[in-house]
């Protein structure tokens, strides 16, 4: 019997018995990811009022040293934060491709990868306001930025974390955003007192993401960084 006929028959039987039932036609649902485009932020990010309150509660301290921090385990990650782009949410797709699915439009995927590997798309870069064409052959042109950089996290509290917490931080979608290579290079390991997005209209959103992540992981802010974040929130 065709599947459609089975569903109709089931609906009739349920109606006759007075029972109700919900089902979803098709395969498993794709993970729900909030788009990050111009002026947007990852799902769960504080609004400006919440961010201001959270910022006031963050520990304030000068940055410690980078002693013990190592890089070189993979694109965008330091060894002390684990291997690059782990599939920590176990949805069958690594975090880099999860971010590309979330942040790009007109996404095309490679066949045979369970709709995971992104091979093409368009990025509306939140940091610059530019529209960038992504192609897998030139993947380095659209790197994934840690909004709160790993090195900055290391000197503001992460050095004392267990390895699993650092791995979770390095792959947290709330702290990952696709951007352009030039902007990612310019930002590097900088905090808000050292770097702000090229597009000033994104300053408020950038500050709310930074504060949300720092609040979630109880990371410190330096005095200069705290002042810079307050200034960015004032533009909201």
The pLDDT tens digits of the residues spanning 204-230 come to 999 999 999 999 999 999 999 999 999
Is residue 8 in a domain? Answer: no
pLDDT tens, residue by residue, 113-129: 999 999 999 999 999 99
Is residue 196 in a domain? Answer: yes
Residue-level pLDDT at 10: 40
Is residue 3 in a domain? Answer: no
Is residue 7 in a domain? Answer: no
Is residue 38 in a domain? Answer: yes
Give percent of the chain with pLDDT exceeding 70.
80
When divided into structural domains, the chain yields a total of: 1
Is residue 48 in a domain? Answer: yes
Distance CA 170, CA 47 (A): 23
Residue-level pLDDT at 235: 96
Does pLDDT of 20 surpass 90?
no
Torsion of CA 92, 180, 145, 185, to 10 degrees: 140
CB 80, CB 154: distance < 8 Å:
yes
Mean pLDDT of 63-78: 74
Provide the domain limits for residue 153.
Answer: 34-233
């Amino acid at each position: 019997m065709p599947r459609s006929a089975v569903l109709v028959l089931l609906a009739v039987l349920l109606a006759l018995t007075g029972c109700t039932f919900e089902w979803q036609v098709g395969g498993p649902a794709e993970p729900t990811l909030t788009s990050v485009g111009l002026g947007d932020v990852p799902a769960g990010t504080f609004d400006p009022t919440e961010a201001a309150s959270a910022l006031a509660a963050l520990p304030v301290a000068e940055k410690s040293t980078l002693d013990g921090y190592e890089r070189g385990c993979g694109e965008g990650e330091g060894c002390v934060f684990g291997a690059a782009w782990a599939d920590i949410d176990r949805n069958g797709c690594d975090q880099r491709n999860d971010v590309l699915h979330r942040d790009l439009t007109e996404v095309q995927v490679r066949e045979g990868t369970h709709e995971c590997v992104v091979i093409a798309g368009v990025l509306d870069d939140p940091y610059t306001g530019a529209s960038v064409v992504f192609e897998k052959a030139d993947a380095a042109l659209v790197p994934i930025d840690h909004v709160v950089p790993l090195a900055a996290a290391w000197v503001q509290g992460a050095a004392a974390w267990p390895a699993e917490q650092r791995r979770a931080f390095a792959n947290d979608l709330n702290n990952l955003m696709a951007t352009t290579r030039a902007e990612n290079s310019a930002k590097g390991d900088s905090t808000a007192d050292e770097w702000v997005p090229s597009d000033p209209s994104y300053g408020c959103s950038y500050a709310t993401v930074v504060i949300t992540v720092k609040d979630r992981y109880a990371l410190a802010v330096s005095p200069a960084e705290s002042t810079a974040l307050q200034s960015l929130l004032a533009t909201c």
